[in-house]
Amino acid sequence: MGTIALVILCYLIGSLSFAVMVSRACGLPDPRTYGSGNPGATNVMRTGKKAAAALTLLGDGAKGWAAVFLAQGLAPQWGVHEMGLVLAALAAFFGHLYPIFFGFKGGKGVATAAGILLALNLWLGIAVLSTWVTVFVVSRISSLSALLAATSAPLYAVYFLGDRRLTMGMVLALSLLLIWRHRSNIRNLLQGKEGGFKKAEE
């Protein structure tokens, strides 16, 4: 029962869509109705409101971190072991992808996955974020940065997580889900149609 309760709790935390909530608070259009239709920081940035995009990014990352941190804290009291924590972390991610509070239409999960990884292992999270930042600085393409960071995450996990095989499997699952959520971006990248952020827009 402890595992089930923890999974539900983390799913509900993950279901908090900061793109939608921040947009409403700032009087901006619903991010699901313009641009890519993706409720995430990159799409919110299309409004030109950098502060709203930054709050979205921080909120989505923070909820991933908070869900896993809370699960780790409650696990001993609720009799939850590694498998339960793995399921709870995945539940937080699925909450972002398919939020119950917002018609099950969520984002692609980049910031939330980063928050989850930071909570699992600080150095693992930093390594993945460093990969994202490095690729973005060079390419200015958010989706390419996310894809390469997702691809690198399982490799970093082998080094930083040691023999925690269930947790390493969860990192692999997160990466595969992120890549799948970016399938339209992959098509655009292969066709040379994927847009990026110009330096003039900074």
> Could you tell me how far CA 98 lies from the centroid of its own chain?
12
Q: Residue 30 falls within a domain, yes or no? A: yes
Q: Residue 56 falls within a domain, yes or no? A: yes
* Tens of pLDDT, residues 112-141: 999 999 999 999 999 999 999 999 999 999
Work out the pLDDT band at 193, boundaries 50, 70, 90.
confident
Question: How many distinct structural domains can be found in the chain?
Answer: 1
* pTM for this prediction: 0.93
pLDDT at 201 over 70: no
Q: Residue 202 falls within a domain, yes or no? A: no
* Tens of pLDDT, residues 25-41: 999 999 999 988 899 99
pLDDT value of position 36: 84
Lowest mean pLDDT among 46-50, 85-89, 156-160, 191-195: 191-195
* Tens of pLDDT, residues 31-83: 999 988 899 998 999 898 999 999 999 999 999 999 999 999 999 999 999 99
Closest residue by Cα to residue 116 from 86, 82, 78, 158: 86
Dihedral over Cα of 77, 81, 82, 83: its sign: negative
Q: Residue 200 falls within a domain, yes or no? A: no
* Tens of pLDDT, residues 136-188: 999 999 999 999 999 999 999 999 998 899 999 999 999 999 999 999 999 99
pLDDT at 92 over 70: yes
Task: Answer with the residue of higher pLDDT: 47 or 197.
Answer: 47
In the chain, which ranges are continuous DSSP H helix? 2-14, 18-25, 41-45, 50-78, 82-97, 110-120, 122-139, 142-160, 165-181, 183-191
Q: Residue 172 falls within a domain, yes or no? A: yes
pLDDT value of position 154: 97
Work out the pLDDT band at 202, boundaries 50, 70, 90.
very low
pLDDT at 200 over 70: no
Q: Residue 112 falls within a domain, yes or no? A: yes
Q: Residue 50 falls within a domain, yes or no? A: yes
Distance CA 97, CA 49 (A): 23
pLDDT value of position 199: 52
Range of the structural domain that residue 18 is part of: 2-99+106-195
Q: Are 170 and 89 in contact (CB under 8 A)?
A: yes
